[in-house]
Amino acid sequence: MTSLRFAIFGAGFWSRVQLAAWGELQGVECVAICDRIRAKAEARAREFGVPRIYDHAEELLQREQLDFVDIITSPDTHSELVHLAAAYKVPVICQKPMAVSLEQAEGMVEVCRDAGVTFFVHENWRWQTPIRQLKRVLDEGRSGQPFRARIDMVSGFPVFANQPFLKELEQFILTDMGTHILDVARFLFGEAESLYCQIHRIHPDIKGEDVATVMMKMGGRTTVLCEMGYAENHLEHDRFPETFIFVEGERGSLELGPDYWVRETTAAGTHAKRYPSPRYGWADPAYGVVQASIVPCHANLLQALRGAATAETTGEDNLKTLRLVFAAYESARTGQAVKLS
């Protein structure tokens, strides 16, 4: 099997994890790293044995023969880099959130479509082992048609301590965490027809919102409540970065609870099994379940680039998630529910 050659744009916080996760897969090789701060690219290249470094994206695209690029930069740079890759006919994987506005995101999808360039969004949250298992049990149907569900990612974790740049975002938790959680809602329950949102800012020294509550009608029949919070308050149970999910069905209930336990309760009783994610030596234990999910996300996208599978998180698909994110901001601004279809 011939290895696919790729380059990464961005040598910041998440690039180390992205490169380590790529290293878990066969048939793929990082040949170059680009960052506007050359010293950062040099340091990351030394760490992972990447042979070439750049501080200008177009120079990299001019000189390298690539099968794809992996964009791991800040969201405000994504549009420019995707347009540039499309101009050079290089397939793109882009970190979430895809863009800082829905208009930008639509333009990115359009330019790749027009250029005939593959465009994927790196949306890994749905690839967490316990979430995949909950989806499998849900699809087996023993608990019946779901009519109500709750998805919670509420934490007192000091997220701003190791990612201080998040304090400067005018829009924070819905773009940073909402892209994940609302995507999980779509993954589990289908598309939303309506949405209502309220947001709060608890930290006095940040620009954006750090708490959000979103309620949606999904799949024509399921009411889904998504709760997100980085208020850094004291919580009785704080198992960052675990996502908790509770689903009520016509014949039973399904729960993803603390420590990765999936419980299904029907007339036959309760069946419970724990589904922890694989452990990797390079993963930060504080982010374990999240960082481990990058590996199967990469694997899916790599198979799709080879034409051996269908990617779950294409640019077209991720636009549907972003529409929910920006509809949530609109609802919070107006105090009104937003009709989506």
CA dist., res. 93 & res. 312, Å (int):
12
Strands (DSSP E) found in 250-335: 252-257, 261-266, 269-274
Q: Is the pLDDT of residue 148 over 90?
A: yes
Say whether both 195 and 245 belong to one domain: yes
Say whether both 134 and 104 belong to one domain: no
Say whether both 53 and 185 belong to one domain: no
Element at 153 (helix H, strand E):
strand 146-154
CA dist., res. 214 & res. 329, Å (int):
10
Q: What percent of the chain has pLDDT over 70?
A: 100
Task: Write out pLDDT tens, residues 236-283.
Answer: 778 899 999 999 999 999 999 999 999 999 999 999 999 999 999 999
Examine the fold and report which residue of 67, 87, 122 is the final residue of a domain before the chain moves on: 122
334 CB-contact burial (10 Å; exposed 0-12 / middle 13-18 / buried 19+): exposed
Examine the fold and report which residue of 122, 144, 179 is the final residue of a domain before the chain moves on: 122
CATH of the domain at 232: 3.30.360.10
In a domain, 166, yes or no: yes
Average pLDDT, the chain: 96
Residue 192's pLDDT is what?
98
Task: Write out pLDDT tens, residues 50-98.
Answer: 999 999 999 999 999 999 999 999 999 999 999 999 999 999 999 999 9
Question: At 244, is the secondary structure helix, strand, or coil?
Answer: strand
In a domain, 291, yes or no: no
CATH of the domain at 47: 3.40.50.720
Containing structural domain, residue 78: 4-122
Model confidence at 163, in pLDDT bands (50, 70, 90)? confident
In a domain, 31, yes or no: yes
Q: Is the pLDDT of residue 1 over 80?
A: no
Number of folded domains that form the chain: 2
In a domain, 290, yes or no: no
